[in-house]
């Protein structure tokens, strides 16, 4: 039982590390000049080959029933994220948010697959994904601007920001329920504006700060709740003196 608890703690730390890596993408993207999106996508993929949705899918496919504390934390975190984007629900931002919703659905499917195949080493799938992405973006990329500093920044995006994050995520998702994995991964949305604030001096809106605080508090509360449950279970498992 102790090993299982240690495994879950390790999984949580790994997924949190993945969110930390992924959250650095914004400042790196902002420093790339003169390279269009498909060119960035192609070279990033080349270097790489170097929340509610997940809970429902995990419940339906893997019979993982999240405990009430997880549902409450997910609701609070989702509310916080919604508050962060509340001022961007119009025009092109709406299209971006809809695309983000589709990404969330795809991520949920990904989590369920990782949980169902946790005995299989899925890290080589990162390489396969990079190759496929490179092949798709190759005919659409003009490679203008893919030199010097831009190429170094795209290397960071592919190897460090995306690649290292994906590896930590795959390793961590093996030890957590789908709902818990998604909730902890939400830290990416909380940390990303902080990096932009610190490195680019773009101050988040009051809504952004409030929403981020709510989402972060939800993750911390769930972590403390899980730690308390582990402690209670460990004490209950000890033989009576």
Place of tokens 């997910």: 74
| 239 belongs to a structural domain | no
Decide if 56 is inside a domain. yes
- Average pLDDT, rounded, for the chain: 74
pLDDT score of 1? 46
pLDDT over 90, % of the chain? 0
Average pLDDT over residues 65-90: 71
Residue 22 falls inside a structural domain: yes
DSSP string across 66-102: --HHHHHHHHHHHHHHHHHTGGG-STHHHHHHHHHHH
The pLDDT of residue 64 is above 80: no
% pLDDT > 70, the chain: 66
Residue 238 lies in a domain: no
Does any domain span residue 241? no
Count of domains for the chain? 1
Domain that holds residue 97: 2-232
Mean pLDDT score, 175-201: 81
pLDDT exceeds cutoff 70 at 59: no
- Residue of 206 and 226 predicted with greater confidence: 206
- Among the ranges 19-23, 95-99, 142-146, 187-191, which has the highest mean pLDDT value? 19-23
The stretch 89-112 carries a mean pLDDT of: 62
Q: Tens of pLDDT along 149-174?
A: 888 888 888 888 888 888 888 888 88
Q: Is residue 56 over pLDDT 80?
A: no
Residues 131-156, mean pLDDT to the nearest whole number: 81
Q: Is the pLDDT of residue 24 over 80?
A: yes
Q: Region 59-85: what's the mean pLDDT?
A: 72
Instruction: Indicate the pLDDT class of residue 62, thresholds 50, 70 and 90.
Output: low
Please report whether residue 240 resides in a domain: no
Q: Is residue 237 part of a domain?
A: no
Answer yes or no: is 12 within a domain: yes
Check residue 34 and give left, alpha or beta (phi > 0: left; psi -120 to 50: alpha): left
Instruction: State the Cα–Cα distance between residues 116 and 4, nearest whole angstrom.
Output: 17
- Taking residues 119-136, report their average pLDDT: 77
Q: How far from 232 is each of 128, 228, 229, 236, CA to CA, in Å?
A: 43, 6, 5, 6
Q: Looking at beta carbons, which pairs linking 228-236 to residues 24 or more positions away fall under 8 Å? A: 230/5, 230/8, 230/9, 233/1, 233/5, 234/1, 234/2, 234/5
Overall average pLDDT of the 224-234 stretch: 68
Q: What number is the average pLDDT over the span 123-142?
A: 79
């Amino acid at each position: 039982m102790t090993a299982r608890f240690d495994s879950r703690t390790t999984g949580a730390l790994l997924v949190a590390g993945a969110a930390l890596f992924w959250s650095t993408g914004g400042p790196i993207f902002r420093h790339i000049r003169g390279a269009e999106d498909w060119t960035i996508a192609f070279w990033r993929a080349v270097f790489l080959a170097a929340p509610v949705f997940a809970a429902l899918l995990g419940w339906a496919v893997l019979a993982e029933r999240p405990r009430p504390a997880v549902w409450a934390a997910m609701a609070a975190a989702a509310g916080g994220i919604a508050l962060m984007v509340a001022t961007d629900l119009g025009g092109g931002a709406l299209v971006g948010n809809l695309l983000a919703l589709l990404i969330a659905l795809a991520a949920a499917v990904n989590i369920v697959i990782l949980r169902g195949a946790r005995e299989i080493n899925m890290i080589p799938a990162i390489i396969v994904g990079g190759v496929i992405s490179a092949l798709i973006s190759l005919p659409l990329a003009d490679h203008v601007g893919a030199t010097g500093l831009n190429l170094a920044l795209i290397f960071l995006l592919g190897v460090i920001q995306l690649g290292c994050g994906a590896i930590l995520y795959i390793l961590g998702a093996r030890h957590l329920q789908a709902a818990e994995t998604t909730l902890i991964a939400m830290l990416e949305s909380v940390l990303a504006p902080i990096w932009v604030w610190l490195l680019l001096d773009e101050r988040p809106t009051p809504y952004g700060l409030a929403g981020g605080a709510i989402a972060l508090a939800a993750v911390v509360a769930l972590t403390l709740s899980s730690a308390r449950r582990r402690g209670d279970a460990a004490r209950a498992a000890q033989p009576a003196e």
